[in-house]
Structure 1
Amino acid sequence: MAGNLETAILGGGCFWCTEAVYLEVKGVESVESGYMGGASADPTYEQVCTGGTGHAEVVKLGFDPAVISYRDLLEIFFTIHDPTTLNRQGNDVGTQYRSVIYHQSPQQEATARQVIGEMAHVWDAPIVTELSPAQPFYKAEDYHQDYFRQHPLQGYCAFVVAPKVDKFRKMYSNRLR
């Protein structure tokens, strides 16, 4: 593992889906599911699910930029969720499921703006992905970490998470661990 890891924080709907994909990406050394962007400190899953805290479900990635670039992480991000639906992904509805990129630096912000601009030509509807400076990250409860690997046969995992992971594997086989 490289000593110069960088951080990316992305929200693409349910964090179980996003986490499951990035756990398979070569160069991503750590993935934590959590919450960001809300008004209260250290929210619980139950509080976030109400939509009242303002937090988004996100993943915090520790990645080695010598193996995978921030740009490449964003390109994967824009293919594993729908960035054109405001505050929803499929049947998951609420501000906690918004599409969001929390940037860590002016360079990440510039890269994200560029990728969003490029992706605008790929999607048939306008991209509504929020782009905001990183805020305090609150790690989700332990039972949410590595959820898909622990519960692959659970209904949501089998019918929602698994197809996203399969899509990633097919589109980015060169990026698999």
Structure 2
Amino acid sequence: MKNSLLIFLLLSISMMGQDSNKKNTSNTETITLGGGCYWCIEAIFENLDGVKTVVSGFSGGTTVNPSYDEVCTGKTGHAEVVQITFDKSKTNLDEILKVFFTVHDPTTLNRQGADVGTQYRSVIFYRNDEQRKTATDIINDLNKNKVYNNPIVTKVEPLKKFYKAENYHQDYYEYNKNKPYCRLVIQPKLEKFEKVFKDRLKKK
């Protein structure tokens, strides 16, 4: 991935939705994203200024109220996702997607690193046509500018149902920082996020 071009392009397109956000009377918005293991994505977005809540769960499949073990079989059709609710006076959908496309590889089909299976696919579940258009425009811009060496495989699909994962999956990194997966997989992604978006971190 051409990091400098990626950051430049995403900084530019991050301004696209600000005017439309001002026209919306609601001060919050929710989007559902899948980019590999939800522990990784959750830990990152919990540190972005303007994000109010991040909930790990499942979406995109046919099994009703699936368990984590069921989703891990790859037979439910669900992807591991995070449901992100953010304050539009502090951030916007463009920035949310900017972070999303920076911290995971959207060009690998049904995998992120060693996590392999349809449950780890890259996907954006939209709630309205504005979200669909924003996501599609960003993907088209990234492909057009050849930011990645390979085409983006991220799917953009309507959200049908979100199922919250078991409680022990919520805030997983926060409570399990010393476990090998957290140290070897999540921590490097979090460090990358903190470096690229150092001016957008929540104040602790």
- What TM bracket, shorter-length normalisation? over 0.9
Partner of 2:162: 137
User: Secondary structure, in 3 states, of the residue corresponding to 1:125?
Assistant: coil
Larger Rg: 2
Which amino acid is the alignment partner of residue 145 of structure 1?
Q
**Match of 1:165?**
190
Aligned to 2:78: 55
Match of 2:91 in 1: 68
1:6 aligns with 2:53: no
SS at match of 2:34: strand
Code of the aligned partner of 2:129:
P
One-letter amino acid of the structure 1 residue matched with residue 99 of structure 2: I
Structure 2 residue aligned with 1:110 = 133
TM-score when scaled to structure 1? 0.97
Q: What amino acid maps onto 1:64 in structure 2?
A: D
Structure 2 Cα separation of the partners of residues 176 and 74 of structure 1: 15
Percent of aligned positions with the same letter in both sequences?
Answer: 50
Where 1:82 maps in the other structure, the secondary structure is coil
Q: Secondary structure at the match of 2:160?
A: coil
Unmatched 5+ residue regions in structure 1?
Answer: none
Give the Å deviation of 1:4: 2.3
Secondary structure of the residue aligned to 2:83 is strand
What are the Cα deviations for residues 40-88 of structure 1, in whole angstroms up to 9, with x where unaligned? 1100000000000000000000101121110110010001000000000
Question: How many pairs align?
Answer: 175
Q: Which amino acid aligns with 2:38?
A: F
Q: Pick the structure with more helix per residue.
A: 2
In the other structure, the counterpart of 1:122 is 147
Asked whether the 8 Å contact 1:78–1:119 carries over to 2, the reply is no
Please list, as runs of the form range in 1=range in 2, the aligned pairs for 1:92-111 lying within 5 A after superposition.
Answer: 92-111=115-134
User: In 2, Cα distance between the equivalents of 1:156 and 1:171?
Assistant: 22
Q: 8 Å contact 1:33–1:59 — kept in the other structure?
A: yes
The 1-side partners of 2:142 and 2:64 are apart by 33
- In the other structure, the counterpart of 1:150 is 175
Amino acid corresponding to residue 6 of structure 1 in structure 2 = E
**1:171 counterpart letter in structure 2:** V
- Determine if the alignment matches structure 1 residue 83 to structure 2 residue 106: yes
Inter-partner Cα distance in structure 2 for 1:163 and 1:36: 26
Q: CA-to-partner distance for each residue in 1:92-146, whole Å, 9 max, x for gaps?
A: 0000000000011100000001111122221110100010001110000000000
Please give the secondary structure, in 2, of the residue aligned with 1:26.
coil
Q: CA–CA distance in 2 between the matches of 1:167 and 1:119?
A: 19
The answer for the alignment partner of 1:34 in structure 2 is 57
Shift of 1:5: 1.2
